[in-house]
Amino acid sequence: MASVVGVTEISSGKMFGGYNKRYKHYSQTLGCSMNFHIYFPPNISDNNKPFPVLYWLSGLTCSDENFIFKSGAQRAASQHGVALIAPDTSPRGLNVEGESDSWDFGVGAGFYLNATQEKWKNWRMYDYVVKELPELLKDNFPQLDTSKASIFGHSMGGHGALTIYLKNLDKYKSVSAFAPVANPTNCPWGQKAFTNYLGDNKSDWEDYDATYLVTKFPGVSATILIDQGEDDKFLHDQLLPRKFEEACKNANVPLLLRFQPGYDHSYYFISTFIDDHIQHHAQALRLN
Give catalytic residues, as residue numbers.
155, 232, 265
What is the distance between the alpha carbons of residues 223 and 20, in angstroms, rounded to a whole number? 29
**Identity at 111, one-letter amino acid code:** F
What is the distance between the alpha carbons of residues 33 and 28, in angstroms, rounded to a whole number? 9
Strand 224-229 with 175-178, pairing: parallel
The gap from C-alpha 143 to its chain's centroid, in whole angstroms, comes to 21
User: Three-class SS of residue 32?
Assistant: strand
Gyration radius of the chain's alpha carbons? 18
CA dihedral for 267, 178, 257, 79, sign (positive or negative): negative
Look at residues 166, 250, 242 and name the one whose alpha carbon lies nearest to residue 210: 166
Cβ–Cβ < 8 Å for 37, 65: yes
Cβ–Cβ < 8 Å for 48, 139: no
**Identity at 204, one-letter amino acid code:** D
Quote the Cα angle for 56-58-63, to 5°: 110
Give the DSSP letter of residue 13: E
What HEC string does 155-219 produce?
A: CHHHHHHHHHHHHCCCCCCCEEEECCCCCHHHCHHHHHHHHHHHCCCHHHHHHHCHHHHHHHCCC
